[in-house]
A and B are shown apart, each in its own frame.
Chain A
Amino acid sequence: MPLENRSLKARYRREWIVRAGTFLCAAISILTTIGIIYVLVSESIGFFKEVSVMKFTTGTTWGPPNEFGVLPLVSGTMIIAVLAGIIAIPLGLLGAVYLSEYANERVRLIMKPVLELLAGIPTIVYGFFAVTFVTPQLKKLLPDLPAYNALSAGIVVGIMILPIVASLSEEALNAVPRSLREGGLALGATKGEVIRGIVIPGALSGIMSAFLLALARAAGETMAVTLAAGQMPNLTWDVTQSMQTMSAYIVSIAKGEAPAGSVEYQTLFAVGLALFVITLTMNMLAQKLVTRYRLKYA
């Protein structure tokens, strides 16, 4: 229907309806956050009536329905995230440097989709890769390695977060103005010296933010660690042992039928709350850092 056939009133009414409608769509994101916090907190309250918050956060044994110390799950999560970081952070940063500073257009054109593909592979596939390839290979080096171990999980999660580190760091490196590079070169520094002494320090807050985001992703990762690291809550530094992460615990309980209201059902939400708080803190820190480097070169 041509516009001129509609009365102005009808057109403005439509305008108002669309604005209200799209606002409601956008409001759903707020509702989602409120929903997540409400669900996690309200379902955990019953749990924390039985088990004190102190016992939960400082206890060193996790074995519902008797022991409720969440530390073994937290340490499992953190150790695997750190292992993943040890793999992904240096390799990802070096890759980002290569792509942003050295590579020609053709290499970049090939590498970008490869990284995207790597980022698009479902985490369950990485779990499969850990079980069928990484663990058997590691066994050649460490014959005593059990079938489920944190090391293999950390390695595949590292491969998984590598594209995140690489693409976000590259963005940060690209944001460093050309003039800074030229200034360094004019002083007689080599390209490598300029990169290490000027470009990387200049992009540091962005790079740190990339690291944090990637580590948060590693901490929240579920399927790969469930398959590769096993289902044993284990408070240890020994990465060759089996460990259970917070997310893997949630999966192991959710797989069975925990009746609503039972203590197992409640632990799902208490552990979920702990995981949510940890990853949210990391993400918010990362965002703070990003705004800092955006301001610097804006």
Chain B
Amino acid sequence: MPDITVPSNNLTTRLPILRILKERLFIVLCIIGTVFGVLALVTLFYQVFVDGWHRLSWDFLTSMPSRHADRAGVLPALVGTLWLLVLTTLVTVPLGIGSAVYLEEFAPKNRLSKLIQVNIANLAGVPSIVYGLLGLAIFVRTLSLERSLAAAALTMSLLILPMVITASQEAIRAVPNSFREGSLALGATRWETVRNAVLPSAYSGILTGVILGLSRALGEAAPLIAIGAATFVSTVPKSPMEEGFTVLPIQIFNWADRPKREFLENSAAAIIVLMTVILVFNLLAAILRTKARKRTRA
């Protein structure tokens, strides 16, 4: 049948050249948008390493800060950061998991529960410096904890709780309902179900949230400056109630805020120390998350 002719040219060659160009240009722009972040990250790390690597040594980790840049170290800041980490964990973990369990497992569907949920989302957006002002007025002044690690840890816990609660809720929500139904059918109460069926399988997801929250707390300086953490401390903190402490981010700020080049190098070296800790935390979180995903898939 010779009447029917099949159009021979395919569609792509029919696209006007302008449309093709536009298409290509758009993809290139999108790639630029993606690569920009990577480039920024690489430049940032490079800059910090060039400035700080040669200052890193055992002495730098174990010395007190000093007026002489080449003799100064981060010991009080490092110990302060570790103290803060432990104390913040002790406060945040029970409160965060408790809130998440309540909201996911026990909360009745009413306006109060909804209010709590919306409120947590709003708290996550409050600037950290505002938490610092809260800590200053409540923990430092009203509860007279003074400028102690205890006041700092309580402030930090309030700051990271929204993040930890949200992540834990997501982990608890990901536990299949059949787990709960199985346990309830065996005669367990709601709490026994949560403890023996839900929490064990939400465990790695919750831990991921806690670790990410803590790694945020590790890097925060603003709220601690607001509650009056000192910028120059030459003693190692011995107890949470002791007045006067410092942490790595504040030490970094203190050094970076000085015009002298040598102090900037100290600052860079302290950044390497801080970033190493944070990277380890993020890595842990990533590993746990893959584990959690595998478990929910299985």
Contacts and interface: CB of A to CB of B under 8 A. Distances in A.
A204 B162 CA distance: 26
B218 A30 contact: no
Contacts of B218: 122
B236 interface: no
Nearest to A163: B37
A120 interface: yes
Describe A's contact surface by its main secondary structure: helix
A127 B256 contact: yes
A58 interface: no
B189 A122 contact: no
B61 interface: no
B99 A33 contact: no
Contact of B99 (A22, A95, A97): A22
Contact of B271 (A14, A125, A219): A125
Contact of B122 (A15, A111, A116, A280): A280
Contact of A251 (B95, B134, B225): B225
B121 A276 contact: no
Nearest to A11: B189
B278 A122 contact: yes
B191 to A, nearest CB: 4
Interface in A112-131: 113-118, 120-129, 131
Contacts of B131: 36
Given A35-B134, A124-B256, A118 B33 contact: no
A36 B99 contact: no
Contacts of B192: 3, 11, 15
A286 B121 CA distance: 11
Interface stretch (A49-57, A68-76, A188-196): A188-196
A93 B228 contact: no
Given A18-B191, A36-B126, A94 B133 contact: no
Contacts of B132: 250, 254
Contacts of B268: 128, 132
A222 B222 contact: yes
B253 interface: yes
A145 to B, nearest CB: 16
A132 B158 contact: no
A235 B200 CA distance: 56
A220 B219 contact: no
B127 to A, nearest CB: 3
Contact of B133 (A14, A107, A196, A269): A269
Nearest to B220: A122
Contacts of A217: 125
14 contacts: A11-B189, A25-B94, A27-B116, A29-B161, A91-B36, A94-B32, A114-B37, A117-B279, A122-B219, A124-B219, A219-B127, A269-B133, A283-B125, A287-B118
The 5 closest A-B pairs by CB, nearest first: A220-B127, A122-B219, A94-B33, A25-B98, A22-B102
Given A29-B162, A111-B34, A166-B33, 15 more contacts: A14-B189, A15-B192, A22-B102, A36-B134, A94-B33, A97-B33, A98-B33, A118-B37, A118-B41, A120-B282, A121-B278, A125-B271, A222-B222, A250-B129, A280-B122
Interface of A: 3, 11-12, 14-15, 18-19, 21-30, 32-33, 35-36, 39-40, 43, 90-99, 101-103, 107, 111, 113-118, 120-129, 131-133, 159, 162-163, 166, 188, 190-193, 195-196, 213, 216-217, 219-223, 226-227, 247, 250-251, 254-255, 257, 260, 268-269, 272, 275-276, 279-280, 282-284, 286-287
